[in-house]
């Protein structure tokens, strides 16, 4: 079953196209009809709940797995319903829209023994594998600090769209899910990322892709302190630029790590300029005791030159990926877990979303993060952490909390 078949959903559909596609779901009937032509045997629906809340239909359709490619604010419910029906799940990043949702999905997946994967497709790239191997093998010595910056993407807004007439082919009620808001031009199909009710700006869109490399290479889990800053937060719109500093504690042989996130027009200019890295737009910079390593999706560089000349890369030791979707499908067949399973993706998503929580609720304030208790001690921040649905409204009960 594939939920969301246009845009990113279309790419995910392509990734599983060789499987037996039983159900296609999309709130845009035109997009749904187009996908249906490719899979004439698939049932076409606009509301996933009519199947995923009906155990009998799930059995009759002989469903094995669900691919979720909806906007962020509706990742949680179809994924949770699928897990509760005993199905395997592939869900786009960020795993969920709120921290409490991410924790719940990871726990449910573990309890059910489900095979899961979060859609961070770059995780499968050979370059990411080589960087992880290099960092772990001491290419730049012990890494105690890192910078993750995405300055080539802008999911911001200054005001919320109003006006317009909902097209007949769009089921606005299903697209909204738990959010209660009148239709307006400028949300669907993609600009929803700019607004807190549906997405989380550049941070929610891009941090899972780039912070993934730092999390993986440095074997990070939960930070203990987060501090975010940027312009005065807008109650509804994501900012043009923001930054967040994370403190990760030592664990075993791993030292404490300070990780900096920079999004939009907020850029670690001096850190990059001092190393001649001004041309890097979106990347991860690892700063080690003996040098530095910078990487984007496709290539990486070690410096300074003397360190690069002396470094000899180890023989590859990470298992190569057959492709992000194929990795999940193969794991489903073998009943193993792929490399971006919810057990890994859940904590990564939580850390990413903490940046938005700290920025929106406690800009400029250092928050102590109690991961086990899922709290910071700041009432406003903790309210965002504990929130199950993007908007608190009567629709929450209808869409499941």
Give 199's DSSP letter: -
**Helix or strand or coil: residue 90?**
strand
pLDDT of residue 400: 66
Beta-carbon contacts of residue 274 (< 8 Å; ≥ 6 apart): none
**pLDDT reading at 23 higher than 80:** yes
Q: CA-to-CA distance for 353 and 359, rounded, in angstroms?
A: 10
Give 142's DSSP letter: S
Residue from 268, 309, 260, 286 nearest 140 by CA: 286
Q: List, for residues 170-216, the tens digit of each pLDDT value.
A: 999 999 999 999 999 999 999 999 999 999 999 999 999 999 999 99
Q: What is the mean pLDDT of the chain?
A: 96
pLDDT of residue 17: 98
Q: List, for residues 98-129, the tens digit of each pLDDT value.
A: 999 999 999 999 999 999 999 999 999 999 99
Residues of the chain above pLDDT 70, percent: 98
**CATH, domain range 125-156+201-320+348-386:** 3.30.360.10
Residue 362 in tokens: 């406690």
Contact 292, 303 (CB under 8 A): yes
Separation of first and last alpha carbons in the chain: 22
- Please state the pTM of the whole predicted model: 0.97
pLDDT of residue 251: 87
**pLDDT reading at 393 higher than 90:** no
- Across 174-320, the runs of DSSP E, i.e. the strands, are 225-229, 241-248, 257-264, 282-288, 291-295, 300-303
Residue 276 in tokens: 């001649």
Banded model confidence at residue 388, pLDDT cuts 50, 70, 90? confident
pLDDT of residue 50: 96
């Amino acid at each position: 079953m594939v939920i969301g078949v246009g845009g990113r959903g279309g790419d995910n559909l392509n990734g599983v196209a060789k499987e037996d596609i039983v159900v296609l779901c999309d709130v845009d009937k035109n997009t749904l009809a187009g996908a249906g032509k490719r899979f004439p045997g698939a049932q076409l629906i606009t509301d996933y709940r009519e199947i995923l809340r009906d155990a009998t239909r799930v059995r009759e359709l002989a469903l094995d797995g669900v691919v979720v490619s909806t906007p962020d604010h509706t990742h949680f419910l179809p994924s949770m319903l699928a897990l509760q029906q005993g199905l395997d799940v592939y869900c786009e990043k960020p795993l969920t829209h709120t921290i409490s949702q991410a924790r719940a999905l990871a726990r449910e997946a573990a309890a059910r023994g489900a095979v899961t994967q979060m859609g961070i497709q770059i995780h499968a790239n050979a370059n990411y594998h080589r960087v992880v191997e290099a960092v772990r093998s001491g290419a730049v010595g012990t890494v105690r600090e890192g910078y993750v910056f995405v300055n080539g993407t802008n999911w911001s807004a200054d005001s919320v769209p109003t006006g317009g007439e909902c097209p007949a082919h769009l089921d606005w009620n299903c697209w909204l899910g738990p959010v209660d808001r009148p239709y307006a031009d400028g949300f669907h199909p993609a600009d929803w990322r700019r607004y807190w009710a549906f997405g989380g700006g550049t941070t929610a869109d891009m941090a899972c892709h780039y912070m993934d490399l730092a999390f993986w290479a440095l074997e990070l889990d939960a930070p203990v302190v987060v501090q975010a800053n940027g312009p005065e937060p807008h109650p509804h719109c994501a900012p043009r630029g923001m930054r967040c500093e994370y403190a990760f504690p030592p664990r075993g042989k791993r030292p404490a790590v300070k990780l900096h996130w920079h999004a939009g027009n907020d850029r670690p200019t001096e850190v990059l300029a001092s190393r001649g890295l001004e041309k890097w737009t979106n990347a991860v910079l690892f700063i080690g005791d003996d040098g530095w390593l910078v990487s984007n999706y496709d290539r990486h560089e070690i410096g300074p030159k003397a360190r690069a000349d002396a470094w000899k890369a180890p023989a590859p030791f990470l298992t190569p990926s057959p492709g992000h979707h194929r990795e999940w499908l193969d794991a489903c067949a073998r009943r193993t877990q792929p490399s971006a399973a919810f057990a890994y993706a859940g904590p990564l998503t939580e850390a990413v979303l903490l940046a938005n929580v700290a920025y929106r609720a406690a800009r400029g304030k250092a928050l102590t993060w109690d991961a086990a208790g899922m709290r910071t001690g700041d009432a406003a921040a903790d309210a965002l952490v504990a929130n199950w649905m993007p908007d608190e409204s009567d629709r929450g009960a209808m869409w499941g909390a």
